[in-house]
Amino acid sequence: MRERNKARVATVWLDGCSGCHMSIFDMDDRLLELKDRIELVYSPLVDAKDYPKDVDVALVEGCIGNEEQRKFAHTMRASTKTFVSLGDCAVTSNIVAYRNPFKMHDVIHRAFIENSEGEIVLPQEDVPPLLPFAVPIHEIIDVDVYIPGCPPSADLIHYTLVELLEGRHPDIKNRFG
Amino acid sequence: MRREPRVKTLRIDDCDCAGREDQTVLDVARENNIRIPTLCQINGLTNVGSCRMCLVEVKGVPKLLTACTTMVWEGMKVVTNSERLHEYRKMILELFFAERNHICAICVANRSCELQALALELGVDHIRYPYLYQALEIDSTHDKFVLDHNRCILCTRCIRACSEIEGANTLGMMRRGVNDKVITDLNQPWGESRTCTSCGKCVNVCPVGAIYEKGLSRTESRREHTFLPYLTIMRGER
Ligand code: SF4
Ligand code: SF4
Ligand code: SF4
Ligand code: FES
């Protein structure tokens, strides 16, 4: 059931450490205020399998490192009005990009063979194939709002959400890192 | 006979200014509290105009000029902050980020980095160019210092400090363009350098986190710049 007069908000966790979601939690009691203005339609916190249609605001943490995320980015874009890259991983690919100077074969070898104890199993099914580089989201799809920071502060996330709910484009000044 | 330097009058943005003929546009702008972003320039070392951050428009000159290497002239009309300049400066900054592997969150220079600070000042909130993800080395062979090429912006401040102030000439540059690399002696590991005096001047002039002292945390590794102008005075220049 669609709730009237509430903005449909999604929060998404791609290749990131979940720290940006922790920062969302850090809004503390302001979350309770927001609850009256938004409906959380998709998130690691809600039980929705598929990305819904007509999302007003998507706050997306993490970069795009595998094929599934790449496809999902297009799905999200098609159903989202305002797409927000939340945090350095989404904006710059940040620490996830640490793997990028290495060849994919070496990365997989390191993760699944060198570092494995016991039986060595290379992922074949169930695990989406890695992309050669973990890239910022805007290299795959158009992004409307960028929030740098690792993680961005709760204040900044709150400011951004409120501005978007009020129909304004947030003016974000925050350093990388 | 010593000739006194002549005074030139010029206009920088809305300011009618005067400067000595041996001053740069940047010098005069700063004296008049006009902010021009800079990166490779540092007081006390020769200006080389390599980073292009300080580009300005000068009336009647078709190309953009670097404020740090352009001497003032009579009647000059300078614009330091047009939309076009702002856009070029942002592009330059973004290219610095895209060229090497800047991961601010885990960098020794995080929050004291001049590149990062300029990105904030000029409103760079993402990099529009694809990153190169070059595989670059980290030279940690020196007892005291580390040179991380992933964060080097090739400003040559370290090279100038090493040569102009310390006189050791340990640091240099090899190759060109995107393949540029700061080297020690004849591209040997820094720890094997026989010219390096371990003075640490390179550490203190590096605007980013490319050269840093071993074993210091981020807050401890603050850069100390103030000694440079004094050293030039002691050297007897001006
Ligand atoms: S930006 Fe920082 S806090 Fe956010 S997901 Fe990436 S590493 Fe974690
Ligand atoms: S050198 Fe500066 S811009 Fe580069 S990673 Fe370090 S803090 Fe960030
Ligand atoms: S190591 Fe630092 S000071 Fe030297 S060229 Fe690179 S960025 Fe500049
Ligand atoms: S500060 Fe003038 S070119 Fe770098």
Considering only CB atoms, A176 lies closest to which of B104, B130, B135, namely B104
ipTM beyond cut 0.85: yes
Residue A121 has a pLDDT of 82
Residue A3 has a pLDDT of 73
Which pLDDT band, with edges at 50, 70 and 90, does A126 fall under?
confident
* Nearest ligand atom owner, CA of B99: 2
Contact state of A175 with B116 under an 8 Å Cβ cutoff: yes
Verify whether ligand 2 is closer than 6 Å to residue B100 (CB atom): no
Distance from CA of A119 to the nearest CA of B (A): 31
Around ligand 3, the residues with Cβ closer than 6 Å are: B 152-158, 182, 205-206, 208, 210-211
Mutate to test the pocket of ligand 3, among B156, B162, B174, B183 (most ligand atoms within 8 A of CB): B156
Which pLDDT band, with edges at 50, 70 and 90, does A119 fall under?
confident
Contact state of A100 with B130 under an 8 Å Cβ cutoff: no
pLDDT digits (tens, 9 = 90+) for A27-55: 999 999 999 999 999 999 898 999 999 99
User: Closest residue of B to A177, CA-based?
Assistant: B105
Residue B238 has a pLDDT of 47
pLDDT digits (tens, 9 = 90+) for A54-96: 999 999 999 999 999 999 999 999 999 999 999 999 999 999 9
Residues with Cβ within 8 Å of residue B12, at least 6 apart in sequence? B25, B28, B29, B32, B34, B78, B80
C-alpha to C-alpha distance for B102 and A135, rounded to whole angstroms: 14
Contact state of A101 with B135 under an 8 Å Cβ cutoff: yes
Residues of chain A above pLDDT 70, percent: 99
Question: What is the block-wise mean pLDDT of chain B (238 residues), using blocks of 10 residues?
Answer: 86 97 97 98 96 98 98 98 98 98 96 97 98 97 98 98 96 95 97 97 97 81 69 62
Instruction: Using CB atoms within 10 Å of the CB of residue B26, give its burial: 0 to 12 exposed, 13 to 18 middle, 19+ buried.
Output: buried
Residue A58 has a pLDDT of 98
How, if at all, do strands B55-58 and A64-66 pair?
Answer: unpaired
For chain A, the maximum distance between any two Cα atoms, rounded to a whole number of angstroms, is 55
C-alpha to C-alpha distance for B199 and B177, rounded to whole angstroms: 29
